[in-house]
Structure 1
Amino acid sequence: MSKVHLVRSGLDELLAGLQEGDPVPAERDLAVRFAVARDTVRQALHELLLEGRVQRRGRGTVVAKPKLVQPLSLKSYTEGAEQMGRKPGRILVAWEEVAATADLSAGLDVGLGLPVMHLERVLLADNERIGLESTYLPLPRFARLYDTFDPETSLYAAIRATGVQFASALERIETILPTPREAGLLLTTTAMPMLHLHRRSLDSEGRPIEVVRALYRGDRVAFQTVLVDGA
């Protein structure tokens, strides 16, 4: 077993005896405890950081909150966060009209180059930045949102309030690294793996509702779904 794995095993035992928010001993103290170089401790702590088990706070490291587990369903981010007892929130980054690219034209069934509504928001859980969401909506269908929607609240609730019901969605999740801008908005680094979610939602008549591109911090969010045997 490598020295990093030995340190990881020791840290696993150490973390099992700590509570959320408790400080993790300093690198130099851990190096002495496990009789290894500080670089070895730093590598083990970095692995725990990427897994979301610890997080940086100031110059130190503390035990992290459990990851926010989001359901893979047509529920909104708000509903998923509240189910875990977390307080959802949002910071508005942009709310604008943009010209439909080829992908947006196909995804939203609008003419190429025609304006679509773009809403970009940082997603919060208990005031912690965990995601960055860009939603594109067909403008003629949802222009009224400019007068009725508070961008710090649930977009799905606002859409449903217009009488539109979500019926189905195609969703794809991949792992990517953020751009410097995205990392800055999420208060992390470009080395932090992100869960990249792409979704296209339809109503009961098969009409497009939205195209969404969202990034979630891999150390703070996980996704789950229920699988049922369809045989």
Structure 2
Amino acid sequence: MVSVIIPTLNAEATLPRVLAALVPAAVGGLVREVIIVDGGSSDRTFDIAEASGAKFVEAPRGRGPQLAAGANAARGNWFLFLHADTVLEAGWEEEVEKLFEQIATGRIPTAELAAAFRFRLDDFSRRARFLERVVALRCAVLKLPYGDQGLLISRRLYQRIGGFRPLPLMEDVDLVRRIGRRRLVMMRARALTSPQRYLDDGFFRRMSRNALCIALYYLRVPPHFIARIYS
């Protein structure tokens, strides 16, 4: 029923945990396939994907093109897009099954939906808790989850809105904006994400850069220019 799509680039350090969190859902029949879409890794990413039984697809480097390639190769009625350093917490599959049950019984009137998980950072510092509160506020007010919160979307809705565009940055924001607030559900389960980017750059420097990039995006600054600032 669900095709899990994970874009990778030298993800050997984080990918095993991401895949391990999908095992209960695969055993229970919720996850039909896992697709690793690689942008040219030089580490053991391929070996890990092969050992797990995942389908391995090569695509031009860039999260947007890789995610689009994964969706094109997927067979499920639902797509679950996950970053290669984002681990869904135990029990996430039960909540997704409940969502599907409510759609099937008509309690939710349409299957053209998308859902994202709550953001959690794999770090015990106060800075991490502050960032989580900021993300929770953004999701509550703007209904704007980022890709590191995972995105579950029906194939029908994904195709209707045109899927991922080949953008160098902001591919997740671009898709969520086209989904729209009324068709997006925020799940209770959490997506645990690596803090490495924040540790490398500094929490508040990374947060400020992200805020600047999203502001420039809404001001319609070309994505290739925003990508230069982000990197």
After TM superposition, the score normalised by the length of structure 1 is: 0.26
Larger Rg belongs to: 1
Task: Indicate the structure with greater strand content.
Answer: 1
After TM superposition, the score normalised by the length of structure 2 is: 0.26
